[in-house]
Amino acid sequence: MILYIMKVIRARAMGYCAGVRRAMEIALRESALRECGFPVFTEGRLIHNPKALESLKAHGVRELDSVSDLQRSALSAADYGRGITVVLRAHGVTPEREAELSAIRGVRIADATCPKVKNNQLKARYLVENGFCLFLAGEKSHAEIVGLMGYADCIVVETADEARRESEKLFHISRYVKTALMGQTTLSPAVYDAVTSTIREIFPNTLVIDTVCSATKDRQDATEKLCAFVDAVVVIGGKESANTRGLFHLAKASGKAVYLIEDADELPTEVFAYETVGVSAGASTPDEIIDEVENHLMRRGKCQ
What residues act catalytically? Answer: 144
Distance of closest approach, residue 295 Cβ to ligand SF4, in angstroms: 26
Near ligand SF4 in 168-197, by CB under 6 A: 185-186
CA–CA separation, 182 and 153 (whole Å): 12
CA–CA separation, 221 and 24 (whole Å): 25
**Residues 180, 132 contacting (CB under 8 angstroms):** yes
User: Which stretches within 80-178 are classed as H helix?
Assistant: 95-102, 115-129, 143-149, 160-173
CA–CA separation, 1 and 151 (whole Å): 65
Q: Which residue is nearest to ligand SF4 (CB)?
A: 19
Distance of closest approach, residue 217 Cβ to ligand SF4, in angstroms: 10
Give the nearer residue to ligand SF4 in terms of CB position, either 13 or 20. 20
Near ligand SF4 in 49-108, by CB under 6 A: 90
Give the nearer residue to ligand SF4 in terms of CB position, either 114 or 191. 114
Residue among 7, 9, 18, 111 that touches ligand SF4 (CB under 6 A): 18
Of how many residues is the chain composed? Answer: 304
The yes or no reply on residue 19 touching ligand SF4 (CB under 6 A) is yes
Distance of closest approach, residue 236 Cβ to ligand SF4, in angstroms: 16
The yes or no reply on residue 258 touching ligand SF4 (CB under 6 A) is no
Distance of closest approach, residue 29 Cβ to ligand SF4, in angstroms: 18
φ, ψ (nearest 5 deg) of residue 109: -100, 130
Residue among 11, 46, 157, 213 that touches ligand SF4 (CB under 6 A): 213
Q: Residue 238, SS3?
A: coil
Burial letters 106-143, b for 16+ CB under 10 A, else e: bbeebbbbbebbbebbebbbebbeeebbbbbbbbeebb
The yes or no reply on residue 271 touching ligand SF4 (CB under 6 A) is no
Can you give the binding site for ligand SF4, defined by CB under 6 A?
Answer: 17-20, 90, 114, 116-117, 185-186, 213, 215-216, 283
